[in-house]
């Protein structure tokens, strides 16, 4: 992998391939996310084009004693080693932005990833609740 850079509108076709989702909703989300100050959406790029993506959202609230924290999500990778590079980027960027805690959003059923994430210092520490609206 050559570079991790901010996502651009021209990356939409590659993002559609990575997420396997319809282009129109993703294009709308991409446009909104690129214009949201507390969100950083990046792509990993190599000689073959976009090889992965990740999103870091920096949050501050009253929970966690008012600490700034990051939410790393949407990691998708098409090639070996890209996920590691995106996780490393997310950890480094969260630190740079003053986060004292980094939450990694991953499906609970993805038990195969627990050991992988643990190598980056993540612990399975929270099970929350979701509701479709």
Res 80: pLDDT: 76
Query: Each residue of 14-64: pLDDT tens digit?
Result: 999 999 988 899 999 999 999 999 999 999 998 889 999 999 999 998 988
Label residue 108 by pLDDT band (50, 70, 90): low
Residue 13 reports pLDDT greater than 80 = yes
Q: Would you kindly state where each structural domain of the chain is located, as residue ranges?
A: 3-119
- Interstrand relation of 68-77 and 101-104 (parallel, antiparallel or unpaired): parallel
Q: What pTM was estimated for this model as a whole?
A: 0.90
Sequence-separated (6 or more) residues with CB below 8 Å from residue 85:
1, 4, 44, 52
Q: Give the C-alpha separation, 58 to 67, whole Å.
A: 11
> Which CATH code of 1.10.1040.50, 3.40.630.30, 3.90.1310.10, 3.50.50.60 fits the domain covering 3-119?
3.40.630.30
For the chain, the average pLDDT equals: 90
Sequence-separated (6 or more) residues with CB below 8 Å from residue 18:
50, 52, 53, 76, 77, 78
In this predicted structure, which of 36-45, 90-99, 104-113 has the lowest mean pLDDT? Answer: 104-113
Label residue 1 by pLDDT band (50, 70, 90): low
Cβ pair 55, 40 in contact under 8 A: yes
């Amino acid at each position: 992998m050559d570079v991790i850079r901010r996502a651009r509108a021209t990356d939409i076709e590659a993002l559609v391939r990575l997420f396997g989702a319809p282009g129109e909703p993703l294009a709308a989300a991409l446009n909104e996310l690129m214009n949201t100050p507390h969100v950083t959406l990046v792509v990993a790029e190599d000689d073959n084009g976009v090889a992965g993506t990740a999103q870091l959202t920096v949050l501050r609230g009253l929970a966690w004693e008012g600490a700034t924290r990051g939410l790393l999500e949407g990691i998708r990778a098409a090639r070996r080693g890209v996920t590691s590079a995106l996780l490393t980027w997310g950890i480094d960027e969260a630190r740079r932005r003053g986060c004292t805690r980094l939450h990694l959003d991953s499906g609970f059923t993805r038990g195969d990833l627990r050991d992988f994430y643990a190598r980056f210092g993540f612990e399975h520490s929270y099970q929350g609740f979701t509701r479709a609206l």
